[in-house]
Structure 1
Amino acid sequence: MSRRAAVLGHPIGHSKSPALHLAAYAQLGEDIGYSAIDVTEESLPAFMASIRGEEGWRGLSVTMPLKKAMVREVDEVRGVARVLGVINTVVFDGEGGSGRRIGYNTDVAGIVNALRNAGAAEAPAAAVLGGGGTAAAAVAALQELGATSVDVYVRDTGRAAEARAAARGLAMDIAVRPMTEAVTGMLAADVVISTLPPRAADGMAAELEQLGRATQGVLLDVAYDPWPSRIAAAWRNGGGKVVPGLEMLLYQAVEQVRHFTGREDAASAEVIDVMCDAVGAPRRVF
């Protein structure tokens, strides 16, 4: 029986997940197909119902705007995803779409490992740009890196439900502030995580460029296309360290491959190397 997995989201044509996963499965000798499927939040229930009886499904990667909505489509939520209420990974328990559907969040591990690989082992002062599902994962990751509080910057301070819920579930202090204060907060932070869509931080980049002040923390920009983003370029030009969003994507995908194959060696250096090669990312130094 052919086995398969897929990434769901809207829009989805730009996704690099198929390249990452297929490279990993080839290296591991696993016969698992992996595709990108355009699914909107409105069409998600119908899609999940349509695959209920289909055999061969191993798992689903879940991207925007489906991470919160997917919670309603699974039978069980495990790990940090239970606290966050945000899922980016669905694993089918047993072979086939008729098995139990287990929800996980591998974004947290993706952020933590990307930052640690860049040398950011601690984050006592932290800032997050954006307040949605990925921001919730960022809050959890920052706590794992030692932060006891986090400043979250959003365009509308009344619309940061996912980030607030994450902080509440983690018993972590959170301050939700207007995006107009973001640059000041970024300059004072040890670690900044931008969860904004591509080009949404261009205004802040322009402000940084005009200020001409030195940047000294680490910036992880989860948006990876185009790269470098304007905010990443401005941060690096100011002297700060930048972590590409592709790093986060890589490390969260490693965890998904481990879930979909059931193999612990999915996180081996050899597998990570071929995944890096598949998306043009520098190989890791182990």
Structure 2
Amino acid sequence: MSATRRAAVLGSPIAHSLSPVLHRAAYRELGLSDWTYDRHEVDEAALPAFMERLDATWAGLSLTMPLKRAVIPLLDEISPTAASVEAVNTVVLTADGRRLGDNTDIPGMLAALRERGVRQVERASVLGAGATASSALAALSRICTGEVTAYVRSRARADEMRGWGERLGVTVRTAAWEDAGAAFEAPLTIATTPAGTADALAAAVPERPGTLFDVLYEPWPTTLATAWAARGGAVVGGLDLLVHQAVLQVEQMTGRSPAPLAAMRTAGEAALAAR
């Protein structure tokens, strides 16, 4: 007999995803024994056919790369938050068959920062210029009262970040990656680069650092996060982001609130420790 309600995370590659661990932990805590959450390897080419096969048992989808933008034409509506960065990581399937897209990465970032006491900063730095960097700018548009400096590797990336800043209402100044050590002078630094990219910057952590938000969760702690914590700075990690955005997904898909943050984080930490 099929489950009453189904949800899943889609992406390519997807085998590494912690989303099933987090969502299943939430279902257990909420007593949703008839809910399932799986992972499916789906690339951009296969996404339309996958969406077509969804029936009334499906409640929602989590989306990772490379599907966050590709899914938009397949949806009936997307939230202003998702539209602001042209990226959807959450799809809710309604009882009347509508497909609603949202982005929980941005409010997830804000929730993770609030948990560490960061509610407003006068300036900030962003390391990198990819998709996560645009989400970081969207989050900063709500809490940063001054300039954001983005440290990037190319003129094209610099142009992109300034463009996102204009769109999101953030004053963005760009600087060369070679000067990224200066990023840590700001009270908040958000590192959005791939694993290993920012390791060399650990030597530039100042005596009294502010807050570092490193979006990686594996490997963890990163070299930069370790150096930051050793100096007494506050560190927000990728698992914090993953859990907070998943909390919002669970609430939207199940209609139950609040989602069990502590149980989800514990399950995620245990899964990472076992790898």
**What is residue 64 of structure 1 aligned with on the other side?**
65
Task: Give the conservation status (yes or no) of the 8 Å contact 2:123–2:144.
Answer: no
Task: Give the conservation status (yes or no) of the 8 Å contact 2:124–2:144.
Answer: no
- Structure 2 residue corresponding to 1:225, chosen from 197, 218, 221: 218
Higher mean C-alpha deviation, range 165-174 or range 130-139: 165-174
How far did residue 47 of structure 1 move?
A: 2.9
SS class of match (2:28): helix
Task: Give the conservation status (yes or no) of the 8 Å contact 1:20–1:278.
Answer: yes
**What is residue 195 of structure 1 aligned with on the other side?**
192
Query: How many residues align structurally?
Result: 267
How far did residue 17 of structure 1 move?
A: 0.9
Please give the alpha-carbon distance, in whole angstroms, between the structure 1 residues aligned to 2:163 and 2:252. 26
How far did residue 131 of structure 1 move?
A: 1.7
What pairs up with 1:20-39 in 2 under 5 angstroms?
Answer: 20-30=22-32, 31-39=34-42
Q: What stretches of structure 1 of length at least 5 have no aligned partner?
A: 282-286
How far did residue 123 of structure 1 move?
A: 1.8
| Alpha-carbon distance change, 79 to 263 in structure 1, aligned in 2, over 3 angstroms | farther
What is the letter of the counterpart of residue 98 of structure 2? R
Task: Give the conservation status (yes or no) of the 8 Å contact 1:6–1:60.
Answer: yes
How far did residue 6 of structure 1 move?
A: 1.0
User: Identity rate of aligned residues, in percent?
Assistant: 43
**What is residue 273 of structure 2 aligned with on the other side?**
none
What pairs up with 1:158-197 in 2 under 5 angstroms?
Answer: 158-159=156-157, 163-184=161-182, 186-197=183-194
Task: Give the conservation status (yes or no) of the 8 Å contact 1:127–1:189.
Answer: yes
- Give deviations 1:136-163, integer Å, cap 9, x for gaps: 2111211222334311222223036764
SS class of match (2:17): coil
SS class of match (2:56): coil
RMSD of Structure 2 on Structure 1 (CA): 2.1
SS class of match (2:155): coil
Please give the alpha-carbon distance, in whole angstroms, between the structure 1 residues aligned to 2:8 and 2:158. 29
SS class of match (1:158): helix
1:77 aligns with 2:81: no
SS class of match (1:6): strand
TM-score by length of 1: 0.85
| Alpha-carbon distance change, 69 to 165 in structure 1, aligned in 2, over 3 angstroms | farther
**What is residue 216 of structure 1 aligned with on the other side?**
209
**What is residue 147 of structure 2 aligned with on the other side?**
149
How far did residue 238 of structure 1 move?
A: 3.2
SS class of match (1:175): strand
What is the letter of the counterpart of residue 103 of structure 2? N
Please give the alpha-carbon distance, in whole angstroms, between the structure 2 residues aligned to 1:160 and 1:11. 28
Higher mean C-alpha deviation, range 140-149 or range 186-195: 140-149
| Alpha-carbon distance change, 230 to 254 in structure 1, aligned in 2, over 3 angstroms | same
Task: Give the conservation status (yes or no) of the 8 Å contact 1:41–1:65.
Answer: yes
Q: What stretches of structure 2 of length at least 5 have no aligned partner?
A: 271-275
TM-score by length of 2: 0.89
1:280 aligns with 2:269: yes
What is the letter of the counterpart of residue 249 of structure 2? Q
What is the letter of the counterpart of residue 221 of structure 2? P
What is the letter of the counterpart of residue 180 of structure 1? E
| Alpha-carbon distance change, 68 to 176 in structure 1, aligned in 2, over 3 angstroms | farther
SS class of match (1:60): strand
Please give the alpha-carbon distance, in whole angstroms, between the structure 2 residues aligned to 1:147 and 1:60. 34
How far did residue 219 of structure 1 move?
A: 0.5
- Structure 2 residue corresponding to 1:245, chosen from 228, 238, 250: 238
How far did residue 212 of structure 1 move?
A: 6.5
What is the letter of the counterpart of residue 6 of structure 1? A
Task: Give the conservation status (yes or no) of the 8 Å contact 1:68–1:133.
Answer: no
How far did residue 115 of structure 1 move?
A: 0.9
Task: Give the conservation status (yes or no) of the 8 Å contact 1:154–1:176.
Answer: yes
What pairs up with 1:124-135 in 2 under 5 angstroms?
Answer: 124-135=122-133
What is the letter of the counterpart of residue 110 of structure 2? V
How far did residue 59 of structure 1 move?
A: 0.9
Higher mean C-alpha deviation, range 40-49 or range 126-135: 40-49
What is the letter of the counterpart of residue 124 of structure 1? E
SS class of match (1:123): coil
